[in-house]
């Protein structure tokens, strides 16, 4: 499971954040019971080395969550640091880089973000966290086999396009290849 997180972190930072949120919820759902995690998750990993690495990784996540007082909600500090980087990147793409495609997606996503905020009791702090929260909620509904409206499907497409632009920019930024036009 650690190897999945590492791969997502390198290739698509939005998917990484969603994956980490899912792991946090998994740990909470199992009430921080490592034995339950071993039986329900780790037992399904055939490769012995990956199972051991995943056990260490989950134990570390549990410890971090307990230290950061995330037993009932919230996210790991690392994810908030990445959200901050993405927020800075979004500003950079819009102002310094002058990415016209990103600016167009931002204009499309703004009304959907505002609408989503009116429908949720948890008001995330940034546009990026709001988009991620909307996509996470959508994925949770789909996994639970719940009905999703065509309006929601359309909004999620815009959210994922927005997050895909940010993820691509994040990869470029981390590799030093982010073009600076202005």
Successive 10-residue mean pLDDT values, the chain, 182 residues: 90 96 95 94 91 95 96 93 94 86 94 88 80 93 91 94 94 83 56
Q: What is the C-alpha to C-alpha distance for residues 85 and 72, in angstroms, rounded to an integer?
A: 25
User: What pLDDT does 120 receive?
Assistant: 79
Structural domain boundaries of the chain? 2-67, 77-174
Give the relative orientation of helices 48-67 and 2-11 as an angle to the nearest 10 degrees. 80
Note the pLDDT of residue 119.
82
Listed in sequence order, the residues at least 6 apart from 161 whose beta carbon sits closer than 8 Å to its beta carbon are 105, 108, 109
Q: What is the CA radius of gyration of the chain?
A: 18
The whole-number pLDDT of residue 99 equals 84
pTM of the model: 0.91
């Amino acid at each position: 499971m650690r190897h999945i997180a590492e791969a997502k972190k390198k290739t698509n930072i939005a998917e990484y954040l969603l994956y980490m949120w899912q792991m946090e919820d998994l740990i909470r759902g199992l009430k921080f019971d490592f034995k339950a995690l071993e039986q329900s998750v780790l037992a399904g990993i055939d490769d012995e080395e990956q199972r051991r690495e995943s056990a260490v990784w989950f134990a570390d996540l549990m410890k971090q969550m307990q230290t950061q007082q995330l037993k009932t909600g919230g996210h790991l500090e690392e994810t908030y640091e990445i959200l901050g980087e993405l927020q800075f990147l979004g500003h950079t793409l819009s102002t310094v880089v002058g990415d016209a495609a990103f600016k167009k997606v931002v204009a499309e996503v703004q009304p959907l973000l505002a609408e989503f905020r009116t429908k949720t009791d948890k008001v995330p702090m940034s546009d990026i966290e709001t988009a991620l929260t909307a996509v996470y909620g959508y994925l949770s509904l789909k996994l639970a086999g719940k009905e999703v409206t065509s309006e929601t499907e359309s909004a999620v497409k815009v959210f994922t396009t927005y997050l895909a632009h940010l993820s691509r920019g994040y990869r470029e930024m981390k590799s030093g290849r982010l073009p600076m036009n202005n």
